[in-house]
């Protein structure tokens, strides 16, 4: 004996094409075509028009590129902070005695990290760019390169594992790539 369907299908409006498709009927309903334009193509004019969400405008390729660069700069800042946290964890767990050179290295490394993070976040917030001149002819990227070299060298002088100090070079490598992408292209032939 066949079992009845435990949940009967809801009563479908024969004029509604969406329920006809859900019920397996793919035949168009002539009364729906004669009734006029569909509800999707009619724009509401009353108070309900204000509640409709406006579509986001399409971003230009330049806006997409700026958004991507900002995302990379935020990532560089957070990666630098993460590498500094790992370095701090290594310092806290170290069994070795730190001499004057070790503590001086810790201080210089963290001063460089703070400056690097500030630079990355300033560029991400569009307060500066990697090509913004800071000291004479030196721009943000060139000064960040000096800071990374100092942070890595002094981080290697700290008597702990050197992996976290070397990890500071990864965010710099991303900014090196972005700095190279922004380079002015030659317009004329070179001789």
- Strand partners for 135: 138
Where residue 16 falls among pLDDT bands split at 50, 70, 90? low
Q: Give the whole-angstrom CA distance, residue 160 versus residue 91.
A: 6
Q: Give me the mean pLDDT over the 29-35 stretch.
A: 50
pLDDT at residue 75 greater than cutoff 80: yes
Q: Is residue 132 a contact partner of residue 122, using CB atoms and an 8 Å limit?
A: no
For residue 133, report the phi and psi dihedrals to the nearest 5 degrees: -75, 130
Average pLDDT, the chain: 76
* pTM as predicted: 0.62
Q: Give the whole-angstrom CA distance, residue 95 versus residue 132.
A: 43
> Residue 188: what pLDDT?
47
> Residue 7: what pLDDT?
61
Structure confidence by residue, pLDDT tens digits, 115-171? 999 999 999 998 988 888 888 888 888 999 999 999 999 999 888 878 888 888 888
Specify the DSSP element, H or E, that contains 133: strand 133-135
Return all residues near 75 (Cβ < 8 A) that are at least 6 apart. 171, 174
Q: What percent of the chain has pLDDT over 90?
A: 25
Q: What percent of the chain has pLDDT over 70?
A: 65
Helices (H), the chain: 17-22, 30-34, 48-51, 61-93, 100-124, 140-157, 163-167, 169-181
> DSSP assignment, residue 137?
T
DSSP letters spanning 84-131: HHHHHHHHHH--SPP-HHHHHHHHHHHHHHHHHHHHHHHHHTTSS-TT
């Amino acid at each position: 004996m066949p079992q009845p369907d435990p949940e009967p299908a809801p009563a479908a409006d024969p004029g509604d094409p969406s329920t006809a498709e859900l019920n397996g009927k793919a035949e168009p309903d002539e009364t729906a075509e004669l009734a006029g334009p569909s509800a999707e193509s009619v724009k509401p004019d009353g108070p309900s028009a204000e509640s409709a969400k406006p579509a986001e405008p399409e971003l230009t390729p330049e806006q997409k590129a700026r958004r991507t660069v900002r995302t990379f700069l935020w990532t560089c800042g957070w990666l630098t902070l993460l590498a500094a946290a790992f370095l701090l964890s290594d310092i806290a767990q170290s069994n070795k005695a730190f001499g004057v050179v070790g503590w001086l290295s810790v201080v210089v490394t963290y001063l460089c990290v703070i400056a690097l993070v500030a630079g990355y976040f300033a560029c991400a917030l569009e307060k500066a760019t990697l090509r913004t001149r800071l000291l004479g002819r030196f721009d943000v990227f060139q000064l960040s390169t000096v800071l990374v070299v100092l942070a890595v060298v002094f981080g290697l002088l700290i008597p702990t594992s050197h992996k976290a100090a070397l990890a500071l070079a990864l965010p710099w490598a991303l900014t090196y790539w972005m700095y190279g992408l922004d380079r002015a292209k030659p317009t004329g032939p070179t001789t």
